Amino acid sequence: MEFEYIHKIEDHVLDAHGYYINYVDRFYRFIDEFNIIRVCWGQPTTISASYFLRLLQEGSSARARGFGRGYNRESDEGSNQMSPFYSNLLDHGALWKMKNGNVICTAMPYGEKERIIDKFYEMTDAFSYPEALRLQFLDEKYKFRKNGDCMILIYFDSSDEEVDLDCSEEELRRKAIRHSGAGILRYQSTSSYVRDRYVSEYAKRRAHGICQLCGKPAPFNRRDGQPFLETHHVIWLADGGDDSIENTVALCPNCHTKMHELNLEEDVEKLLRIAAQG
């Protein structure tokens, strides 16, 4: 799939593909806060259901496969499978490539939230999508078009994926880099951020049992024999920090509490320097 570079958009300008940006400030807020670098407008309504899932799971590196069988010979990039879900779910949709290569989907459907949720689960049931595929209603501050009653986000929650941590530190580092990115805010009865387990585990593994703030060994070992350290985001996710290996460190419980209570500037600078070493 080809993702287009996002050119500078002037106020109320219709782009080459007929997508009207009504609120330029909201558009750039969405682009900046979700670390977006490219877009594929109008999708996923003309791609196959399996390709849509692979893009969300594997990111922009997912490749379209060959033609299917039958008279119409649908392909991954030319399919009507997603069309029944255009109304009440994928209306005014787009696929977005993030800085880390991950892909997310947004849409601006019409209808009540309950109807949109029903349509989402109807889609996941129809294609046997995994439970890690998530639907989130975004804040109005991101809705850059007048179309639709709301703006939704569909993404693959890798924190809910079966995670294989039984690998070398170098392999874990590669996985952590692949999964690094902006923290995605998930709205439930309370708001929480999705944290990737590969990123978290790598932060602990590379510390080799030593708190990266006080420099002391972990206070005890877990039941599996590994040193007990806690992953900390140096720039908090709520303040726009990334869930990435360059923004995570491993701390003992005392230092972790200290950072959340005091968050001293000299400690933040020290931890950022350590995290930046990858």
Which two three-digit tokens encode residue 51? 């390709």
Q: What is the pLDDT of residues 261-277, one digit of tens each?
A: 999 999 999 999 999 99
Residue-level pLDDT at 186: 45
Q: What is the pLDDT of residues 82-111, one digit of tens each?
A: 999 998 899 999 999 988 888 999 999 999
> In the chain, where does DSSP find H-type helix?
24-33, 49-58, 113-126, 169-179, 197-207, 253-261, 265-276
Which two three-digit tokens encode residue 186? 């998930």
Residue-level pLDDT at 189: 33
Which two three-digit tokens encode residue 167? 């690998």
Q: What is the pLDDT of residues 57-82, one digit of tens each?
A: 888 888 887 654 444 556 888 888 99
What domains lie within the chain, and their CATH numbers? 4-156 (no CATH), 169-276 (1.10.30)
Strand (E) positions, 47-132?
94-98, 103-107
pLDDT at residue 191 is higher than 50: no
Q: What is the pLDDT of residues 1-11, one digit of tens each?
A: 889 888 766 55
Q: What is the pLDDT of residues 109-159, one digit of tens each?
A: 999 888 898 889 889 988 889 888 889 999 999 999 998 999 999 998 876
Q: Residue 176: which of 269, 248, 273 has the closest Cα?
A: 248
Single pTM value for the model:
0.61
| Secondary structure letter of residue 37 according to DSSP | E
Residue with tokens 């009207």: 20
Sign of CA dihedral 83, 87, 89, 92: positive
Confidence grade of residue 187 (pLDDT, cut at 50, 70, 90): very low
